[in-house]
Amino acid sequence: MTATRIRRCAADLGLFLAHAVELEAEAAARYDELADSLEAHNNPEVARLFRELAGHGRSHRDQVAGIAAAHGPLPKVAPWDFDWGGAAESPEAPTFEDVHYLMTPHHALALALRCETRARDYYAAVAEETDQPGIARLARSFAEEEESHVALVRQWLDRFPPPPPGWDEDPDPPNYNE
């Protein structure tokens, strides 16, 4: 269990759902952006993987958005007002800086595993902190969904062991300036 304290969104169902929708939407969009980026840099294998992860993300985003729609209008939250327990961005979004143009499927899946784990821990923390049964029930179910993603990514990782050292050596490097 993470030590992160998630106070604001654990106190209000609308606020919690607004956070959940943002978390899922941002993850899906980010995986698509990374897929685009790796396509542009001629790494189709990892691009396909990111695109597949984006697809899973979109599916979960739509599922959460459907639940949120049944709740009614959600509060409008500015990007900087989301409470991600001290993190700069939502827990499931891979950070831009964690990618490399020569990265392998192993690196992509290791990155995805960190993101899915953070999302699971985030929802679990909300479930633990809230005193509202409705929020606790939803947060637990979202945490279980994320846990299933964690298990799935672990299975995929088994198929892609770490590459040998030197995976990032480029015989035609972009910064060769002789």
Partner 1 sequence: MREARACTPQDYKSDVKPVWCPGCGDFSVLAAVTRAFASMGLETHRTALISGIGCSSRIPAYTSTYGFHGVHGRALAAASGLKLARPDLTVVAFGGDGDGFSIGGNHFLHACRRNVDLTYVIMDNQVYGMTKGQASPTTEPDWCESKLTPAGPGVTPIQPVPLSIACGANFVARGFSGDPNMIARLIVDAIRHPGFSVVQVLSPCVTFRPEQKDWKGAVHPYGREPADNPMLAMHAALEDDGFGVGIFYAGNRPPFAPQAEATASVEQLEAEFAP
Binding segment toward partner 1, per CB under 8 A, in 6-14, 75-83, 109-117, 139-147: 75-83
Binding segment toward partner 1, per CB under 8 A, in 11-19, 58-66, 129-137, 170-178: 170-178
CA distance 153 to 27: 15
Least CB distance to partner 1 at residue 112 (A): 15
Pick out residues in 31-60 that bind partner 1 (CB under 8 A). 33-34, 36-41
Spell out the residues 6+ positions from residue 18 whose beta carbon is closer than 8 angstroms to its own. Answer: 9, 68, 74, 75, 76, 77
**Residue 83 in contact with partner 1, rule: CB under 8 A:** no
**Per rule CB under 8 A, count of chain residues that contact partner 1:** 29
CA distance 63 to 43: 30
Choice between 79 and 133, CB closer to partner 1: 79
Q: Is 155 left (phi over 0), alpha (psi -120 to 50) or beta?
A: alpha
CA distance 41 to 154: 26
| E strand segments, 10-155 | none
Q: Which residues of this protein are in contact with partner 1, per CB under 8 A?
A: 25, 29, 33-34, 36-41, 76, 78-80, 82, 88-89, 95-101, 103, 174-175, 177-178
